[in-house]
Structures are given as C-alpha cells and as structure tokens.
C-alpha cells in the first residue's frame, strides 16, 4: 500500500499533441479515487502513465514516496484491471490468477493458497479450472479483479472495468468493487466515463477534460459546487438544466421569468468586465410542484407557470418536462458536453427537466405552477464557463445577500 503523487505530470506525443497538461494529484494511501471525463479527456492516458505503460513526458510520478518515472511496469508493484479484462485465453481461471505470482517466482503452495483465497472472495472457486472462453462477462470481470488482488499490490488501477457489462450486472459489480476496495484498503485509481460510477464509488473524484483537471473533490462537493459549466453538466443525472439569461438592472431575465438578484450577485455582476449574458444552471430536483411547498419555504424560491410537455412517473418521484421558449444557452463547455453524450444523457437545450414529488398532480398538456429554489441556482459566465455564484468554494445561489 502506498500513496501516489502526480507532480506536474504531462504527456506529450511525438506529433505535438498534448494529452495531459501538468496534472497535479495527490492520492492518499488507501484512497479510492476516480478519474472521470468524456473520451479523449486524458484520463486513460493518466492511468497508463501511473501504470508505466506510457512514458511520462515531463513531471514526476511518485509511488510511496519514490520516483518511479523510469521504472518498468513490473517494477512498480501495481495491478491493473483492463476494460477488456485481458484474460489469458490459453490459461484456466486459476492459472490466470496465479500468473503474476508465478512470475514473481513464488512458492507453489503459497500460490495455491493465495489463488484459492482470492477465488473465495470473488466467488470463483468452482470456476478455477475453466477457460475464460467458458465464462460469462461478469465472471470474466471477476477473474480480472482476482488477478489484480492475488498479489496484494501497492495500488490498483482500473480502466473502465465495468463498461462491458450489461446495466444490471454493472450495478451489482459496482457494489462489489466498492466493498472489495474497503475490505482490502488498497489505494485505487479508477477510470470511468460514467458519472454515476464516479459519484457512487469514489472517495474523491477528478473531473478531467482535454487533458486538464477541471475539478477535484468528493462527489457531493462536485455535485453541489461545480466550478464550471462542464463539471455542472457532467455530474448528475438527469443533468443540470441550462438556460440563457441576461442581467438587467437588479434582476436576472430568464425564459422562466425575472429572478431577483441578491446584493452579493448584484455587486459581482456590476463590474466593468462582468458579463451581461449569463447561463443559469439548476438541477431537476431543485424544482417542486408549487402546491406542495410549505409557506415558509415559498419565499426562498421563485414560481412560474408553464404547460407540461410530458410526465414520467418513476414511482418515487415524477420527471416533468417543459419546453422553454427563447434563446438557447450557448457556450463551448456545453457543446463539449453534448458532443460527448451524443445528446443522450443531456436534455435538449430547449427542454427543462424537473423532478417533482410523487404526490404532485401535474398532468400532460396542462399548465403547472412550479417552484424553484433560488439558493440552488448557479450562474455561469458563458465566455469561460466559470461558476460565478461560488462564494468561498460554496454555491450561494443568486439571491444571497
């Protein structure tokens, strides 16, 4: 077990492209850290550099306090689980798991003991003599995990280990991975493009984009206080709603209506270089059916009436969709997000997604009165995507004094 420190680690390819820009990251001993981001954000490259499968162009990588830039993967004592599992097809499950130990010239009896133990933990005992070809996807995945844990390495690296599983199995394995990590208490770096995995698994999450770290923090912090549009849109499902807005006098003009601006926001927006055009971001769960809002809460929010497009009842709550008239929110960050999701995870820009209580009586095609929490609204500068509502690292809402 060891801590991993990335000190201005950069990856530059011979053709001049830079995949990872001076990444600084300190991963504590036993920590479970997630690298998340859209494809091409540099997360896998970063992982491969930690593994030693790719050279580090500049900067320093330290594992357990020791510089390992020049060390071969085999000398770094870290195990890796691949997205493709990369099981050796000519070996049985048992031989696959024993492979790293055999390479380490470990005693045969000890190898058997360790393999048996890992197989027991992963419930693979009855498959030890099978070839990987005769296993299901989930079993193969577990063998890959088994191969990593048998030799008790300093750290685990996982490169999207669950993305080849079907949805149900993925949720099961997610819990298993999490439990295993807690049990072994081994430093783990986990790469994924799935924000749900990132939120549920990690002690801390690193959101990456274009080779830069966007934000680093525990899942809740990322969710509540995203530093920019990209993080705000990437974390959360369904993702945050973004609306175009303009500052006028002391109000914020949005397609939903004029929102009051608190003193703090007003002074922040009164500067000479303060943007006139803004992007309002608000998460679906910060809306509520106005009829269900208690009186003392009503004042903290803003109410509007709009015709309902569609109601999706999830049982526990209702997803209610509205169509927003007017200009779309536009920013480079948002385009990146849409491009990454293929439009799938992100609602269309003129769509407003709200998550209301299950008791709400809104129906398709009928006007609904909706309340939204002003304290939970984020304002982003469309020029650089920065969240301007953050106050000392915390989201403060638009109406804060």
CB nearer to another protein: pick between 133 and 344: 133
Cβ atoms of 11 and 49 within 8 Å: the answer is yes
Q: Output the smallest distance, CB 165 to another protein, in A.
A: 9
Of the pair 103, 358, the CB lying nearest another protein is at 103
Minimum CB separation from another protein for residue 64, in Å? 17
- Nearest approach, Cβ of residue 132 and another protein (Å): 4
Which one, of 257, 270, 267, lies nearest residue 374 by Cα?
Answer: 257
Residue closer to another protein (CB basis): 8 or 74: 74
Residue 316 near residue 358 (C-beta atoms within 8 A): yes
For 130-168, b where at least 16 C-beta lie within 10 A, e where not — what string?
ebbeebeebbbbbbbbbbbbbbebbbbbbbbbbebbeee
Distant-in-sequence, close-in-space partners of 299: CB < 8 Å, separation ≥ 6: none
Angle at 79 between CA 30 and CA 190, to 5 degrees: 60
Q: Which is nearer to another protein, 86 or 268 (CB)?
A: 86
**Sign of the dihedral defined by the CA atoms of residues 153, 158, 164, 170, in that order:** positive
Toward another protein, which CB reaches closer, 132 or 236? 132
How near is the Cβ of 150 to another protein at its closest, in Å? Answer: 10
CB of 250 to another protein, least distance (A): 57
**Residues 324, 304 contacting (CB under 8 angstroms):** no
Q: How far is the CB of 74 from another protein (least distance, A)?
A: 4
Instruction: List the strands of the sheet with 18-27, edge to edge.
Output: 18-27, 4-12, 58-63, 66-67
- Whole-Å CA distances, 260 to 253, 265, 266: 9, 10, 10
168 or 296: CB nearest another protein: 168
- Measured from the CB atom, the residue of 167 and 401 that comes closer to another protein is 167
Cβ nearer to another protein, comparing 133 with 299: 133
Mention every residue, 6+ apart, whose C-beta is less than 8 A from residue 365. Answer: 307, 308
Closer residue to another protein in complex, CB, 136/357: 136
CB of 111 to another protein, least distance (A): 13
CB 19 to another protein: min, Å: 16
Residue ranges binding another protein (CB under 8 A)? 51-53, 72-74, 78-80, 82-90, 99-100, 103-104, 131-135, 137, 140, 147, 151, 157, 164
Q: Are 128 and 162 in contact (CB under 8 A)?
A: no
247 phi, psi to nearest 5 deg: -90, 125
Rounded to an integer, what distance in angstroms lies between the CA atom of residue 181 and that of residue 203? Answer: 11
Query: Rounded to the nearest whole angstrom, what is the least distance from the CB of residue 393 to another protein in the complex?
Result: 37
Separation CA 116–CA 169 (nearest Å): 24
């Amino acid at each position: 077990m060891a801590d991993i420190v990335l000190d201005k680690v950069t990856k530059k390819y011979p053709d001049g492209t830079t995949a990872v820009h001076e990444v600084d990251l300190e991963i504590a001993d036993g920590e479970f850290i997630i690298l998340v981001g859209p494809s091409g954000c540099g997360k896998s490259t970063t992982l491969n550099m930690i593994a030693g499968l790719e050279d580090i162009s500049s900067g320093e990588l330290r594992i357990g306090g020791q510089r390992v830039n020049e060390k071969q993967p085999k000398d770094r004592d870290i195990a890796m689980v691949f997205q493709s599992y990369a099981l050796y097809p000519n070996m049985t499950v048992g031989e696959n798991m024993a492979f790293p130990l055999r390479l380490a010239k470990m005693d045969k009896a000890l190898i058997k003991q360790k393999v048996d133990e890992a197989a027991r933990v992963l419930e693979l005992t009855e498959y030890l003599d099978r070839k990987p070809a005769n296993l299901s996807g989930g079993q193969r995945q577990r063998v890959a995990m088994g191969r990593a844990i048998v030799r008790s390495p300093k750290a685990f690296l996982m490169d999207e280990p669950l993305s080849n599983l079907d949805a149900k199995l993925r949720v099961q394995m997610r819990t298993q991975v999490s439990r295993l990590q807690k049990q072994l208490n081994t430093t783990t770096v986990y790469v994924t493009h799935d924000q749900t995995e990132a939120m549920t698994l990690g002690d801390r999450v690193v959101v990456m984009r274009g080779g830069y770290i966007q934000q680093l923090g525990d899942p809740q912090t990322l969710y509540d206080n995203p530093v920019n549009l990209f993080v705000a849109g990437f974390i959360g499902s369904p993702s945050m709603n973004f609306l175009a807005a303009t500052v006028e006098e002391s109000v914020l003009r949005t397609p939903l209506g004029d929102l009051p601006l608190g003193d703090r926001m007003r002074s922040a927006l009164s500067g000479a270089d303060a943007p006139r055009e803004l992007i309002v971001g608000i998460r679906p769960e910060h809306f509520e059916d106005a009829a269900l809002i208690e009186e003392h809460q009503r004042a903290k929010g803003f109410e509007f009436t709009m015709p309902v497009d569609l109601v999706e009842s999830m049982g526990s709550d209702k997803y209610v969709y509205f169509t927003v008239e007017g200009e779309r929110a536009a920013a480079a960050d948002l385009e990146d997000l849409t491009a990454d999701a293929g439009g799938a995870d992100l609602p269309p820009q003129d769509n407003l997604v709200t998550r209301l209580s299950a008791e709400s009586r809104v129906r398709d095609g009928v006007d609904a009165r909706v309340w939204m929490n002003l304290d939970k609204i984020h304002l982003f500068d469309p020029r650089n995507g920065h969240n301007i509502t953050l106050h000392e690292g915390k989201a403060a809402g638009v109406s804060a004094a």
